[in-house]
């Protein structure tokens, strides 16, 4: 998928297990892609603000965070 000119995109990945999310993020970061795994431990307003500001190209999270987070607008 190509990015539109001047448009920054964020890819959300839903992972059923936090350990897999962390492993995926480690691989992405090693490849030079900015990524974060969002779990209960770091699902804070500050984390969601960083996501909103475009700090990460990929956000990996679990279904519970995705469905219950007010910051994600769900």
Per-residue pLDDT of the chain (74 residues; tens, 9 = 90+): 455 666 788 999 999 999 999 999 999 999 999 999 999 999 999 999 999 999 999 999 999 998 887 766 55
Give me the residue spans of the domains in the chain: 11-68
Distance from C-alpha of 16 to C-alpha of 7, rounded to nearest angstrom: 29
Distance from C-alpha of 35 to C-alpha of 60, rounded to nearest angstrom: 8
pLDDT at 50: 95
pLDDT at 1: 45
Residues facing residue 11 across a β-bridge: 58
DSSP 3: P
pLDDT at 8: 80
């Amino acid at each position: 998928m190509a990015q539109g000119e001047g448009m920054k995109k964020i890819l959300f990945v839903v992972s059923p297990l936090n350990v897999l999310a962390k492993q995926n993020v480690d691989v992405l970061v090693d490849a030079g892609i900015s990524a974060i795994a969002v779990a209960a431990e770091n699902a804070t307003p500050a984390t969601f603000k960083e996501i909103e500001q475009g700090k990460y190209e990929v956000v990996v999270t679990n279904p519970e965070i995705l469905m219950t987070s007010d910051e994600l607008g769900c």
